Amino acid sequence: MDNIREKIIQNYIDGYNEFDIEKMVRDLDDEIVFQNIQDKEMNMTLNGINAFKQQAEQAKSYFENRQQRITSTKHIDDKTEIEIEYSAVLGMDFPNGLKKGQQLEIKGKSIFVFKDNKISELTDIS
């Protein structure tokens, strides 16, 4: 079971790194709940695969390139938690002062909740 989850997660990460939305959503439950937590504050919640796809498509323009690399994996019941190293080059200027072409280096984690070998919840924390 853990090996299946790791393959599903790696497929999601590969899709993310390749800007391939269909690959990213291949193993998402139709009722996926996605949350993004940054600096201990939740700044995004998405409900359903269509909302997730729409946001993922929009986010493609934010980056010239992006790379998530899994540094550790921990399985607990129906959850799998990964720690990641994230690097990206921004594809646009942001209101918070970050500029197009700027390099980002972030460490974070993602928590995947599984139901019937589909990702039913995904929380990104940085």
Q: What are the pLDDT tens digits along the chain (126 aa)?
A: 679 999 999 999 999 999 999 999 999 999 999 999 998 999 999 999 999 999 999 999 999 999 999 999 999 999 999 999 999 999 999 998 999 999 999 999 999 999 999 999 999 999
- The ranges assigned to domains in the chain are 2-125
Count the neighbouring beta carbons within 10 Å of the beta carbon of residue 24: 21
Separation of alpha carbons 46 and 68, rounded Å: 21
In sequence order, the β-bridge partners of residue 119 are 28, 114
> Looking at domain 2-125, which of 3.40.1160.10, 3.40.50.2030, 3.40.50.11310, 3.10.450.50 is its CATH number?
3.10.450.50
Write down the pTM of the prediction.
Answer: 0.93
